[in-house]
Structure 1
């Protein structure tokens, strides 16, 4: 049996060790958690882009939109006036969806300049507003304008309820080589051209409403990213900018002409007179920041990247 003195001494040693161990833990520095700020910033931008997305067609699984707030189907019509002849689906033999022809897999292939149009309905797919309307439109094109396009103007994208010259947003190639690439954000025709004389596309008043790029960066076997960024349309301080491959190419300021739509009749037309490839088409419900535009351009798998869980 241990003596009382030995027990007391043993208890004292244990107490000293406990106090020392507690003191060491108190002085111990917390482990630092390494956070990749760049990755976090990119993830935040992707989340913000996803929240602003209203329409997306990758063309990888068909011509039906991968994501849409409105009707996801594509339609074919002989011309804009024959509404009764509209057919759901892609029914133009000179336009097809082909594997390996897109920027990211499948893409749309336009081979001829022919009559008829294909479109997605605008309603809910584009966040039209009668006041302070903002948004962005993104897509990829691949072509050599000098050798692929037939003579005449062509609009890879045109969004309107009437025509190119009346409450419309579009980009086009000019009618002859060397071709300029232009952004048109054109308000109500009866406001900007109440007394029309001659074709509007040759009217100096019309041309002042365009943002043009000479020697645009297109070429055979290469892809070019196009982004249309607009803000505060249907106000006295509207603005619209064109970006190509993430670079700002021009801005039209103080757009004060109204854009009056019957949204149920407005459509997102693709490939009017266009010959070439198209892929990864998306629309957002607000204008994008420069960082968001750069991120969109650099997405490894296109807009599908921001939809992945």
Structure 2
């Protein structure tokens, strides 16, 4: 019988044990995503959020300056639930550009911090920008207490064909543009604060996953990244401009000028890892998969 020296036997068994521990290690990605979730709207059961740490209701206002006129629910005839045509189940369909806004309140649904703010925003879009969108800028999502140019996080399509797709993470306007001249959206100082994609991957009948990842806002080293279909498309670093919110005035606005379908909106209280972003993109049944 072949005898293996004691030291070699110990080394062999240690190697086998290490392999076993690695193979038995449980993948906690879904659980980690669930723990970080602050809001989720599938649009499969109407317009209210399926899960939220804050108010689950969608609201409609005639304009953002008329918050006191907000009504609970969806009250815009050009927006509706489209059955079975979402990325997963039903989706939220926008059919024309019109006055009025819909939103979810930010309080507790966004993990805003005055000191060190991080988070992530995930959703799916289906449209052909060249043929579906009307002239003008279009923001599928915009989160702010004032406007796109003042402490806001958003993505947009530029105003005319061929349209770029851009990420804006814009701090307090009186800091980045204390002496404004002309419209902010044409200001080079403003444009330098954006990251974007030319010829973005959208198409009629196709779905595109959008992920906004941000960390360290309200510090000297803020960072924000845009992912599309699980791939990193652009990053801004060194974001030092403060983001000062009156939180009860901040909202998660959807479909500003947008024409197309949106689905599976989710928001998280921290920035996500590359693995988590890839997982969100490949979930078989959307964010419902991590809630089960």
Give the TM-score band, short-chain normalised: over 0.9
The answer to whether 1:88 aligns with 2:72 is yes
Indicate how the Cα distance of structure 1 residues 84 and 253 shifts in structure 2: closer, same or farther if over 3 A, else same: same
Match of 1:175 among 159, 169, 172: 159
**Per-residue deviation at 1:197?**
0.6
Aligned equivalent of 1:291: 275
Instruction: Give the whole-Å Cα distance in 2 for the aligned partners of 1:204 and 1:45.
Output: 40
- Structure number with larger C-alpha Rg: 1
Runs (4+) of structure 1 moved beyond 6 Å?
Answer: 32-36
Deviation string 1:248-297 (CA, Å, 9 cap, x unpaired) is: 00000000000000000000000000000000000000000000000110
SS of match in other structure, 2:26: helix
Match of 1:40 among 23, 26, 40: 26
Aligned equivalent of 2:142: 158
Indicate how the Cα distance of structure 1 residues 281 and 37 shifts in structure 2: closer, same or farther if over 3 A, else same: farther
Aligned equivalent of 2:48: 64
Match of 2:217 among 201, 219, 233: 233
The unaligned stretches of length 5 or more in structure 1 are 1-31
Q: Calculate the aligned-residue CA RMSD, in Å.
A: 1.7
**Per-residue deviation at 1:118?**
0.2
Instruction: Give the whole-Å Cα distance in 2 for the aligned partners of 1:140 and 1:283.
Output: 13
TM-score (norm 2): 0.92
Indicate how the Cα distance of structure 1 residues 36 and 92 shifts in structure 2: closer, same or farther if over 3 A, else same: farther
TM-score (norm 1): 0.87
Indicate how the Cα distance of structure 1 residues 177 and 166 shifts in structure 2: closer, same or farther if over 3 A, else same: same
Aligned equivalent of 1:11: none
Deviation string 1:176-208 (CA, Å, 9 cap, x unpaired) is: 000000000000000000011110000000000
Aligned equivalent of 1:125: 109
Aligned equivalent of 2:4: none
Aligned equivalent of 1:199: 183
Instruction: Give the whole-Å Cα distance in 1 for the aligned partners of 2:73 and 2:38.
Output: 20
**Per-residue deviation at 1:40?**
3.0
Aligned equivalent of 1:10: none
